[in-house]
Chain A
Amino acid sequence: MDTKIVRRRFATLLLAAALALAIIGLVLLREISGNSENFSRLYQTILLINAANAVVLLSLIIVNLVRLFRDKQKDVPGARLKARLVGAFVLLVIAPMAVVYVYSIQFLSEGIDSWFDVKVERGLTDALDLSRNALDMRMRENLDQTRLAADSLSSLPDMQIYAYLPELRMSSNARELSVFAGGSKIIATSSADPSNAIPLLPTDEILLTLRQQNFYVSLEPRPDDEYFVRTAILLPSRFGAEPRIVQALYPLGKGLGPLANSVQNTVTRYTELAFLREPLKSSLTLTLSIVVLISLLLAVYGAFFFARRLSAPVQSLVAGTRAVARGELDTRLPSGERDEIGFLVDSFNDMIEQLSAARAEARRSEAQVENERASVEAILARLSSGVIALEKNLTIRTSNQAADKLLNQDLRSQEGRLLESVAADNPALKKVVDIFMDKLAQGETDWRTQVRLTTDSVTRVLVCACTVLPGSYRSRGGYVLVFDDVSELLQAQREAAWGEVARRLAHEIKNPLTPIQLSAERIRRKFLGTVDESSSELLDRATQTIVQQVEAMRDMVDAFSEYARAPAMNRTNFDLNRLIRQVADLYPAHRNQLPIRLELDETLPEVNLDAVRIRQVLHNLIRNALEAMEGQEDSEIVIRSYLLHKHKTDCVGVSVRDNGPGLPEEDREKIFEPYVTTKSKGTGLGLAIVKKLVEEHGGEVEIESELDEGTCVTLVLPIGKTKDADSAVQNDGRTRRISA
């Protein structure tokens, strides 16, 4: 069982015992106060009960006091309130109780004193003196009567005394008249009561008195609450005999007797009461003090009890509030009484219940938002489109990898910064930001435009779109910029268009070429010998021209056909350096041209590419370089191979550099498009085909050129699956783009 419960039950038991003891003690105290016969029987018990009660209550109070002090030192919630309540209760109890106590003592003292009156006391004393005087007179009379009787008897012998004594008794109105010899020898006696045969013997006191003064008189009480006067006379000794004592008993009579008795009783009662006045006050004060002490102790403990009862819910509320402040929303307070504090506790519990539910809901919402945010981030991370979310103040809220790549800027580390300041060092980004700012200045927040950007010598065409993010009713949510790289799409569209053109050309132009050539040759054969020499020369030159131009046109159509043709990819593992050497060997040095210089990385691994296509690519590049440098002194072509790691993929790089005239900047962007050429001759499809074939391998083509310095075309090709790779993957015909 919980120690606190055990302690509380023990305290309750002690309190119940104290209450029971108090009630029993007070009832018994009342009993002995009203009945002195029970005093000695009950007083020790009462003392024990009250002492035990006082000890129990004092113990409880001390324990509570120590506990309260300790709680206050430890700053336990509610301790100060409890201390104040206890103080107030104790003060409220002690003050009136002290007043009542003091006034009760005063009232008791004055009340008891009021029983006694000086006049009454004096009256009683006077009555007593009067009675004594009256009785003294009576006693003297009786003594005189006895003396007369003694005188009458003094000369008589014993026998005559006996005979004369009754008459003498009656004449003296004595109740009993006796004559004794010495102390106790009865000579004669006469009594008014016939049943009383033995007379009352003289006491030692009488004998002693008689020896001193010859007579004795006293007023003596009788058992029946009556008084009688006893007189005695010592007769002188005669003839050497023992002295005679005449003793007479006289009743006070019906008149004086009851009065004397009444006076005696009243005086006795009053004297006793007067004597007991102070002890009575003391005992009543003591009784009252005990009652007050026990009541006071009970009241003080009651103050602790009620203070605890009152402060317990408040204490509980404070503890609950602290717990809630610490975030412990599972805190619930025990329901108390059905009063205002109980209502407060219930309301607190309801409030915490709602708070807990709200927090759980908030956490759920937060988790949901977090999940959604993570989802959005995951989606953004995997989007090929670049996304930049801006706050309303144009600071970067978030961005994705694609945006970093497209704009060549680590935007994710710049979150929280102004977009304009981030774009200051990045021309590509600045171009976009300028457009954005212009549109914003014009009030356009929802727009879409196409932007051509060059980053790292790569020109991209981006479709840039902007829209406003939804916000709360108080503020707009900012902006989102979306970039889509449509370069490849546009290239594909252009390639598709050129492919279509090529097919049409092949179909529409190639067909009439053969009849044209055949017709020209027939004309030449038929009319060359029939016409004159000058005409013959003209005919020969004309038909020759027609045949040559038809051939040239056929070559052009074949080239177009080759461009449009897309045979299946045939990847094989081969040594790229070897292929480069084979191709380079086909272009020996002649006239003013230096031999092709090879700077090959001999550590290059085998590559898994379509050797035929790569061979064509190399041919096209070398031919393109040669044509660009045609007529140039000391022209030189350098082919270099090397390993590189790009886009997390192992790649080989092959660069073909010439020292030709170079390309103007405006042509560099379009040089890979079909039918674009800077040379006087050529179809303009060479580099377009190179780009197409390289991209079919998932590679990239880059061109760098400086006017009068030369041009360098660099191929970046993924090594692809080689010996250890799965052949199924090698031959599935699909191409993995390194830019993926």
Chain B
Amino acid sequence: MIEVAKETAMTPVVSGSIKCAGKAVLLRAGKYLVGAAILLVSSNTLFADNNGRFEIIQADYRVEEDMWVADVRADLELSDEALEALANSVALTIQYQFRITSNRWYWTDKQILARSVNIQLSYLGLSQRYLVHHLDTGEQTSYATLYSALRQIGQLSNFPLVATERLDADGTEVISLRVALSRDDLPGPLQMLAFWRGDFGLESKWNRWIPK
């Protein structure tokens, strides 16, 4: 039986990358401080019309040949800034992030596995086609339209996630998934802006599923 549970917010179980409250406060303060400077530098794209949207439509997990296999369907819509960057030959990397954690009542959750699927989307001016390049497998396909390319990226089929033997499937483990635009793979100057601005902060909510 497959259960899909959608989280309404970032849960501490899976998100826990920022755990120190003081660090968060300082970081936020620093953001505000330098953010003011950024506002002065570039404010033309601050209020964009299309903010984009990444959403997991469906995530199915099944066991196939001693492997937990995932089939994911996502709805991907790029923001105007991302579209502009793409049109200007900036390659965007869309990332499926899987986290498998084990719940511990006495301590923070134990991370069993962290995997990601990296798909690069780029626009080729010469052929006027969108190239979808699976960075992990090297497979690439091109599409005449962005819609086709995003639709193809939004479908992840038969992705071998983890060997069944690594999971107890006793209800204490959680598979979390989200799809996001990777800011780490943006060119340096864009990374800095993306850090302060939400234009490239495209990511879906965490999708949780408890294997049994």
Residues of chain A whose beta carbon lies under 8 Å from any beta carbon of chain B: 32-33, 35-36, 39-40, 43-44, 47-48, 50-52, 54, 128, 131-132, 135, 203-205, 218-221, 223, 227, 260, 263-264, 267-269, 271-272, 274-276, 278-286, 289-290
Contacts and interface: CB of A to CB of B under 8 A. Distances in A.
A33 B89 contact: no
A269 B89 contact: yes
A44 B131 CA distance: 32
B125 A40 contact: no
B90 interface: yes
B89 A227 contact: no
Contacts of A282: 38, 41-42, 189, 192-193
Interface in B35-60: 37-38, 41-42
A275 B88 contact: yes
Contacts of B33: 51, 54
Nearest to A263: B126
B23 interface: yes
B30 A50 contact: yes
Given A218-B144, A267-B125, A286 B38 contact: yes
B142 interface: yes
A267 B191 CA distance: 22
A51 B26 contact: yes
B117 interface: no
Given A221-B127, A286-B41, 10 more contacts: A44-B27, A47-B30, A48-B23, A131-B126, A220-B127, A223-B139, A263-B126, A267-B89, A279-B193, A289-B37
A279 B194 CA distance: 10
Contacts of B125: 128, 264, 267-268, 271
Name the 9 nearest CB pairs between A and B, nearest first. Answer: A36-B188, A275-B88, A51-B30, A279-B189, A271-B89, A283-B192, A280-B189, A219-B127, A40-B184
Nearest to B29: A51
A521 to B, nearest CB: 152
B183 interface: yes
B21 interface: no
Nearest to A127: B126
Interface string B57-94: 00000000000000000000000000011001110000
A218 B189 contact: no
Contacts of A269: 89
Interface string B137-171: 01111111100100000000000000000000000
B144 A286 contact: no
A218 B129 contact: yes
Contacts of B34: 47, 286, 289-290
Contact of A32 (B31, B140, B188): B188
A272 B192 contact: no
A35 B30 CA distance: 22
A109 to B, nearest CB: 11
Nearest to B31: A47
A283 B193 contact: yes
B142 A220 contact: yes
A285 B90 CA distance: 22
Nearest to A204: B148
Contact of B190 (A221, A276, A285, A290): A276
A268 B124 CA distance: 7
B62 to A, nearest CB: 25
A54 B192 CA distance: 19
Nearest to A267: B125
A43 B192 contact: yes
A449 B90 CA distance: 131
Nearest to A44: B27
Contacts of A272: 88-90, 187
A128 B195 CA distance: 33
B85 A264 contact: no
A221 B191 contact: no
A649 to B, nearest CB: 100
Nearest to A33: B188
Given A47-B34, A48-B27, A48-B30, A221 B90 contact: no
Contacts of B42: 278-279, 282
Given A44-B27, A128-B126, A285 B187 contact: no
Centre residue among B29, B191, B192 by max chain A CB count within 10 A: B192
12 contacts: A36-B188, A47-B31, A48-B26, A54-B33, A203-B141, A219-B129, A268-B124, A275-B84, A276-B189, A282-B189, A283-B189, A286-B41
Contacts of A32: 188
B191 A205 contact: no
A43 B195 contact: yes
A52 B23 CA distance: 10
A220 B143 CA distance: 9
B187 A276 contact: yes
Residue of A33, A43, A268 with most partner-chain B CB within 10 A: A268
Contacts of A223: 138-140
A223 B189 CA distance: 28
Nearest to B123: A268
Contact of A52 (B26, B141, B191): B26
Nearest to B133: A223
Contacts of A271: 88-89, 125
Nearest to B141: A203
B49 to A, nearest CB: 19
Interface in B114-131: 122, 124-129, 131
Contact of A260 (B126, B139, B186): B126
A52 B30 CA distance: 9
A349 B131 CA distance: 84
Contact of A264 (B26, B124, B142, B192): B124
